[in-house]
Structure 1
Amino acid sequence: MSGTGAAAAGARVELADWGWRHTGRAGWALRGVDLVIEPGERVLLLGPSGAGKSTLLHAMAGLTGDQGAIGGDEEGRLRVDGRPAAAARGLCALVGQDPESQLVMARAGDDVAFGPENLGLERAEIWARVREALAAVGFPYGPDRPTAALSGGEKQRLVLAGALAMRPRLLLLDEPTANLDRAGAALVRGVLADLPRRTGATMVLVEHRVAEVAGGAADLVDRVVVVEPGGGVVADGPPAAVFASHGRALAERGVWIPGREPRPRLPAAAPGAALVEAAACAAR
């Protein structure tokens, strides 16, 4: 299929009673997750800190398990287009919140070409994809631009271009605007808003600026899924419905919700053992 503008069917993701526990941890990051994401859906993944959102994205990308880079214990079933996630890595692209950790080459064009080269594509096809992906994200320079000379927002757009150049059917985004200023974040969201028309890819997004992706006319997602620390899915539906029924509880657990300030209710902890004691002290 030629061109980043050519539509491609998104991947289907299915989890059944799925759970993951990181190596060396007593508790489960997630457990009992039952979730189906249909091709082309745009899903916002929410939950309080420690709810396992990043873990779930990494699992969908095939990075967990015996054949992945992240070790631990797995239970249940996770499938991407009917295959184990590790066997479907070529269908997925993962973009994280820190572009510095994802840039691998000194020149912008070479960085975008890195993924397609690893797919074994012909040189002409690789560089056609590089040019199309750079244009799609509005990258303001040519392919020879040094990556070290880019701003944070420009680096994140470059990372996104690298993901798009692979033409993924499943695009996974882990707080892609977290380290950007407001202008840079708006640029990245603009690219994401146009993705359904350009690619048809399924998109799963973790984002703390919830009001800016699912709170108004420029929504980037059509579905919100809320996960519980150490548990599974506790809410699933259109953004307005989920925020109406679960917004207060989420805000009380520190999650930013449109129209609500996060007001986490932290339980009082029992005092620990005394570290310093003083008795019969007098000042001189």
Structure 2
Amino acid sequence: MTAAAVRPPGTPAAAGARVEARGFGWHHPGREAPALRGIDLVVEPGERVLLLGPSGAGKSTFLHALAGVLHDDDGLSRHGELLLDGTDPDRARGRAGLVQQDPESQVVLSRIGDDTAFGLENLAVPREQIWPRVRAALDDVGLALPLDHPTAALSGGQKQRLALAGAVAMSPGLLLLDEPTANLDPAGVRQVRDAVARCLDRSGATLVVVEHRVAVWADVVDRVVVLGRDGGITHDGSPAQVLGEAADELSRAGVWVPGRVPPTRAPARPRGDAEPLLSAAALAVSRTQPSARQLRAGAGRGGGAGR
């Protein structure tokens, strides 16, 4: 039996958290327009929600607010009410886990075991409970590597799964994913999605994921919520319902909807005798990593080696 099948002793049951927003909005200091406004939403424990919308609609801001990492220092930023299990997210310590889109920026320590344990240590989990939970989390996300394996040797997809392991080790009731596959190749995308599905099946946690590639998450989520460019929620329902109602709208907003090709506009041709913006001669492009010698030689000629 794997560590994913049975929780290690001392691991709290990660029953799904409940999210409630009532007229919630957020205005970053110094910005002319609010990042988010007019959000009325209830997510019941254990629901799996895909959050969509055009760029600038406030999706990431909403996730960060739920994670409790936004602070209303001047008393003017926050509007309305946002609750996580009936509590302000700022005070729901460890109840939400956030994974962001850049794998590199989320690696904290040089060994995968220490990196996964970082959040548990900050939650003051007893030492005898930390390492069984670290091993269980790494097993959940499919990183069957020694605890002293260097994080620098991981691929992008592995680093993202490591970030996921660090989140699920804390047994959050709410898992927040902010474009977790945006910087990954197709294999890495599948690995991260499958790891998320395994973790949710084991824990029963609530999921809110922001992603532009709908097809990746269509079989994982049971609800789709669309934020409007001008605030509020424009669509809310099952994946089939929302994608049927809003497929064209989402495609125009840059969301990769199954069966839709995002509209593109051909660049205007230069007119008159304007200088060319870019020119190239005898250009060679390689997909191999250039050696340090090649880079130095290129720099000496005033150029660089391509990848």
Of residues 164, 169, 178, the one that matches 2:168 is: 164
Q: Is the 8 A contact 1:133 1:162 kept in 2?
A: yes
> 1:6: Cα distance to partner?
8.2
What is aligned with 1:142? 146
Q: What is the TM-score of this pair, normalised by structure 1?
A: 0.87
SS across alignment from 2:57: coil
What is aligned with 1:3? 8
Q: Which runs of 5+ in 1 are unaligned?
A: 266-275, 277-284
Distance 1:158 1:196 in 2: 16
Of residues 61, 82, 103, the one that matches 2:67 is: 61
Structure 1 residue identity aligned to 2:139: A
Q: Is the 8 A contact 2:13 2:171 kept in 1?
A: no
Distance 1:121 1:191 in 2: 24
Bigger CA radius of gyration: 2
Task: Give CA deviations for 1:257-283 in whole Å, capped at 9, x if unaligned.
Answer: 111112268xxxxxxxxxx9xxxxxxx
What is aligned with 2:193? 189
What is aligned with 2:228? 228
Q: Is the 8 A contact 2:137 2:166 kept in 1?
A: yes
Closer, same or farther: CA 140–195 of 1 in aligned 2, 3 Å: closer
SS across alignment from 1:204: strand
Distance 1:210 1:130 in 2: 31
Distance 2:110 2:212 in 1: 30
Task: Tell me the percent identity.
Answer: 59
Q: Which runs of 5+ in 2 are unaligned?
A: 1-5, 266-273, 275-307
What is aligned with 2:293? none
> 1:3: Cα distance to partner?
3.4
Task: Give CA deviations for 1:179-235 in whole Å, capped at 9, x if unaligned.
Answer: 111001101111112233210100100112211211xxxx01000000012401111
Task: Give CA deviations for 1:100-159 in whole Å, capped at 9, x if unaligned.
Answer: 111111111000000111111111100010110111111031110011111111111111
What is aligned with 2:261? 261
> 1:89: Cα distance to partner?
3.1
Structure 1 residue identity aligned to 2:262: P
SS across alignment from 1:83: coil
Is 1:52 aligned to 2:58, yes or no? yes
Distance 1:129 1:205 in 2: 24
Distance 1:7 1:247 in 2: 38
What is aligned with 1:272? none
> 1:72: Cα distance to partner?
6.3
What is aligned with 1:279? none
Q: Is the 8 A contact 2:141 2:199 kept in 1?
A: no
The alignment's C-alpha RMSD in Å is 2.2
SS across alignment from 2:249: helix
Structure 2 residue identity aligned to 1:221: V
> 1:8: Cα distance to partner?
2.9
Closer, same or farther: CA 97–22 of 1 in aligned 2, 3 Å: same
Q: Is the 8 A contact 1:6 1:199 kept in 2?
A: no
Structure 2 residue identity aligned to 1:224: V
Structure 2 residue identity aligned to 1:255: V
Task: Give CA deviations for 1:72-104 in whole Å, capped at 9, x if unaligned.
Answer: 611100000001110113201100011211111
Taking the TM superposition and a 5 Å limit, the aligned residue runs for 1:176-255 are 176-214=180-218, 219-255=219-255
SS across alignment from 1:22: coil
Q: What is the TM-score of this pair, normalised by structure 2?
A: 0.80
Closer, same or farther: CA 152–222 of 1 in aligned 2, 3 Å: same
> 1:248: Cα distance to partner?
1.1
Distance 1:25 1:258 in 2: 35
> 1:51: Cα distance to partner?
1.0
Is 1:18 aligned to 2:28, yes or no? no
Aligned length: 261
Is 1:85 aligned to 2:89, yes or no? yes
Greater CA drift, 184-193 or 254-263 = 254-263
What is aligned with 2:131? 127
SS across alignment from 1:109: helix
